[in-house]
Amino acid sequence: MRAPQPFRRDGLPGRVTIYEVGPRDGLQNEAAALPTAVKAEFIRRLVDAGLSVVEATSFVRPEWVPQLADAAELLALVERADGVRYPVLVPNERGLDRALDAGVDEIAVFASATESFARRNLNRSVAESVAMFAPVVGRALGAGVRVRGYLSMCFGDPWEGDVAVAQVVAVGTRLLEMGCDELSLGDTIGVGTPGHVTALLDALGAAGAGPDRLAVHFHDTYGQALANTVAALQWGVTVVDASAGGIGGCPYAGSATGNLATEDLVWLLHGLGIDTGVDLDRLVDTSVWMAGHLGRPSPSRVVQALGAVAGRG
C-alpha cells in the first residue's frame, strides 16, 4: 500500500496548495541547529518532491532563533526553481531590509490574536505589534514583494484559555486591510475542532475575508489537524500549511507533536482525489533523511507507515 485509493467528495476543491513550513517553522522549533548546507538540501529535496511553496527561513534576530541565524547564507545557497515560491519570515523593518538584501520576493509577518502571546512573542501589545507591521507590509508591497500574515493562537491560548472568534476576526481583518495578500490562521497549540474552524471562517467571511485570501495552519497536538483541515476545505480554503515529517514539535505544549505533517496531509488530500503536485514517496524519503539529521524519528503517522513498508524507518 503506497497510496490511498482516491474517492472524490462533492464540495471540495480539485487542487490544494500546500504551504510547506518545515525549513522555517519546523527547524526553528527543533533543538538541533543544522548545518546550512543540510538546510539547503532539505529545501531542494522538498521542491523536488513537488512542493511549490517552501517557507525557507526567518529574518528574526539571530539571538531569538539561533537555529535560523544563517538566513542570508542559506538563501545564497538555495537555487531557485521555476514556479516555486520561497517566502521568509520577517519581524520588523530591519528584518525586511535583510530579506530584501537577500533577494526574496515573498515575506510573512506574524501577529498574535491574543495579548498574552503578543507580549511573550513580540514584547508588544496586539495593537502595538499591528502598528509595527504596517510599514513592513507597506514597504514590501511597494517593492513588489508578496506578503502573508500569520495569526497565532486563533483557537486557544495557553495563558488565556479560550479565544473569542470576534477577537481573531478583529486582528485578522486588520492584517488583510493593511494589504497582506493572505492570512494564515494558526492553531498554535492544536486545540481547535472542526465546528470551531467553520465558525471562525464563517465570521471572517461575514467580515469580508474570502477563501481566496485565507489559509489554515493546524497543529496536531490534540490529533485534530486533519479533521480541521477537512472543515476548512469544505468552507473553500485551498491553501493549507504543513511541515514535512511533522517536524517542529509544539513549543507551547511541551509535546513532540506540533505542526501537521505534510505527508499526513498529502495522504488525506490524495485520498479525496485532490491534486497537490506532491510525490509522496519522495517526500517520505526526505523526512526519513531529515529525521536522521535531527536525531529523532518523524512523528508523522504516514512517514512511520510508509517508512516501515520500505524498510527505511
Query: Which residues are identified as catalytic?
Result: 250
DSSP per-residue letters across the chain: --SPPP---TTS-SB-EEEE-IIIIIHHTSSSPPPHHHHHHHHHHHHHTT-SEE--EE-S-TTT-GGGTTHHHHHHHPPPPTT-B--EE--SHHHHHHHHHTT-SEEEEEEESSHHHHHHHHSS-HHHHHHHHHHHHHHHHHTT-EEEEEEE-SS-BTTTBS--HHHHHHHHHHHHHHT-SEEEEE-TTS---HHHHHHHHHHHHHTT--GGGEEEE-B-TTS-HHHHHHHHHHHT--EEEEBGGGTT-BTTTTBS--BPBHHHHHHHHHHTT-B----HHHHHHHHHHHHHHHTS----HHHHHHHHHTT--
State which residue, 12 or 227, has the beta carbon closest to Mg ion. Answer: 227
State which residue, 12 or 215, has the beta carbon closest to Mg ion. Answer: 215
The CB-of-240 to Mg ion minimum distance in angstroms stands at: 12
Residue 287: CB atoms within 10 Å: 35
State which residue, 25 or 263, has the beta carbon closest to Mg ion. Answer: 25
**CB distance 306 to 284 below 8 Å:** yes
Query: Which grid cell is 2?
Result: 503506497
Ramachandran region, residue 156 (left: φ > 0; alpha: ψ -120 to 50; beta: rest):
left
State which residue, 26 or 141, has the beta carbon closest to Mg ion. Answer: 26
The CB-of-139 to Mg ion minimum distance in angstroms stands at: 26
Question: Which parts of this chain interact with Mg ion (CB under 5 A)?
Answer: 25, 259
The CB-of-229 to Mg ion minimum distance in angstroms stands at: 14
Query: Which grid cell is 8?
Result: 472524490
State which residue, 184 or 276, has the beta carbon closest to Mg ion. Answer: 184
The CB-of-127 to Mg ion minimum distance in angstroms stands at: 24
State which residue, 108 or 302, has the beta carbon closest to Mg ion. Answer: 108
